[in-house]
Copies of this chain bind each other. A is one copy, B any other.
Amino acid sequence: MNRSRLDARLGDVGTDGYLLDASKDDANQLYLSGFTGPDPFLSLYVDGSIHLLVSGLEYGRARSEAAADTVERHADYDYEYGGRDERYDMYAAFVRDKGAVSVSMPPRAPVGTADALRERGIDVAVDEDDRLQDVRAVKTDAEIEHIRESQRANEAAMRAAESLLANADVAEETDDADPGTLLHGDEPLTSERVAEEIEVTLLRHGCALDQTIVAGGAQAADPHDRGSGPLRANEAIIVDIFPRSKATKYNADMTRTFCVGGPSETLRRWYDLTERALVAALDAVEPGATGDDVHAAACEVYEGADLPTFRTDPETETGFIHSTGHGIGLDVHESPRLASGGGELEPGHVVTVEPGLYDPDVGGVRIEDLVVVTESGYENLTEYPIEFVVD
């Protein structure tokens, strides 16, 4: 954790304290508390100190694991498991006990807790800027190493996927499957089968993930389609993997697009354009540049080839229909945004750069690297080669 950045951002929030009510599933909570509690618990930042309130069941682990200055348990406030009002009474007592009569909470904090504290005389403001996002965006060296480790697992998983594709046979007229279907042994090679291999490889490398994109053909034209069913030769197959380290909870993210056999001229052109858009966007990454600048660099490559982007046509459903990238850390998607209106990049920002082209009649192509902004430019954390046709 970058404590001085945290103190600067939470210190001028305009309320006495900053309150979280969330479990480890919330990246803000994980960051501020340093504790992986499975049930919601409170973290309160007041006057440069972080205070935790957890259940008795979590107390021992929180004391040894958490980065907090103090850890208390429900019993310290004479709370016994059960009543809802008593629980909110305890929350209010905890906040007051730490010297706060006003707190800020992030926009997605629970309204039940916010309203209950208000009813008990504590002023609760919504921190619409979600300023912990801004703190989390700039990574320490240790955090960058965590992301790098997740990326190594990611590359092992991508190799496993590419190898399945490279070793696939292609069904012919005489086979049971439709001609052109990729085969793994006698069975069609499906998106699900490739995703399973990716996820098993990630587990073997200490990472978890329950969503992987392996999408071919028209499915690849929908950036949120995870893909299903048999994969086919001569189509573009998007493989997008975003694993999370089980130990550190930091994510990585990488996309490659593969084609078994011979892509159409259009797909080949799209791939080359997307690789150029990636290089152009990467070239724009440096401290002082904005997320908007980086996005513009990718858009210009596509627009120069007369392909639509959200900049030229906000309604378009084909072409480059998403932003160029996003920050990554304890969340897969976090600050900063490499998009229209995206703010200034700082050393320590870790971002994806992932231009792509989509059209159900053609397919989808996306290439995504993961980079850290440095004092002088960027370091690419991605070592995986960029190759379209596998064989």
Name A residues whose Cβ lies closer than 8 Å to a Cβ of B.
25, 38, 40, 56-58, 60-61, 75, 80-82, 84, 105-115, 124, 126, 128, 196, 199-200, 203-204, 208, 210-211, 222-225, 244, 246, 310, 314-315, 317, 321-322, 340-341
Interface centre among A61, A107, A208 (most CB of B within 10 A): A107
| Closest Cβ–Cβ distance, residue A247 to chain B (whole Å) | 9
CB pair A112–B128 under 8 Å, yes or no, is: yes
User: Which chain B residues border A111 with CB–CB below 8 Å?
Assistant: 105, 107-111, 113-115, 124, 126
Copies in the complex: 2
User: Which chain B residues border A38 with CB–CB below 8 Å?
Assistant: 211, 224
CB pair B222–A61 under 8 Å, yes or no, is: yes
Given known contacts A57-B223, A225-B61, A322-B57, A109 and B110 CB-to-CB distance under 8 angstroms: yes
User: Which chain B residues border A75 with CB–CB below 8 Å?
Assistant: 315
Q: A57-B223, A57-B321, A61-B222 are in contact. List 11 more A-B contacts (CB 8 A).
A: A40-B108, A58-B224, A82-B341, A84-B128, A107-B110, A108-B111, A109-B111, A111-B115, A112-B126, A200-B203, A210-B210
Could you pull out 17 A-B pairs where Cβ atoms are within 8 angstroms?
A: A56-B317, A57-B223, A57-B322, A61-B222, A75-B315, A81-B310, A82-B340, A84-B128, A107-B111, A108-B111, A110-B111, A111-B114, A111-B124, A200-B200, A200-B203, A200-B204, A210-B246
User: Which chain B residues border A61 with CB–CB below 8 Å?
Assistant: 222, 224-225
Query: A141 vs B315: C-alpha distance in the bound complex, in angstroms?
Result: 43
9 smallest CB-CB distances across A and B, nearest first, come from: A107-B112, A208-B210, A111-B114, A108-B110, A111-B111, A112-B126, A109-B111, A199-B203, A200-B200
Closest to A211 in B: B38
| Closest Cβ–Cβ distance, residue A12 to chain B (whole Å) | 20
Given known contacts A61-B225, A224-B58, A115 and B110 CB-to-CB distance under 8 angstroms: no
Query: A38 vs B56: C-alpha distance in the bound complex, in angstroms?
Result: 33
Closest to A84 in B: B128
Query: A82 vs B292: C-alpha distance in the bound complex, in angstroms?
Result: 13
User: Which chain B residues border A210 with CB–CB below 8 Å?
Assistant: 208, 210, 244, 246
CB pair B107–A224 under 8 Å, yes or no, is: no
User: Which chain B residues border A203 with CB–CB below 8 Å?
Assistant: 196, 199-200, 203
| Closest Cβ–Cβ distance, residue A358 to chain B (whole Å) | 10
Query: A282 vs B58: C-alpha distance in the bound complex, in angstroms?
Result: 28
Query: A321 vs B59: C-alpha distance in the bound complex, in angstroms?
Result: 14
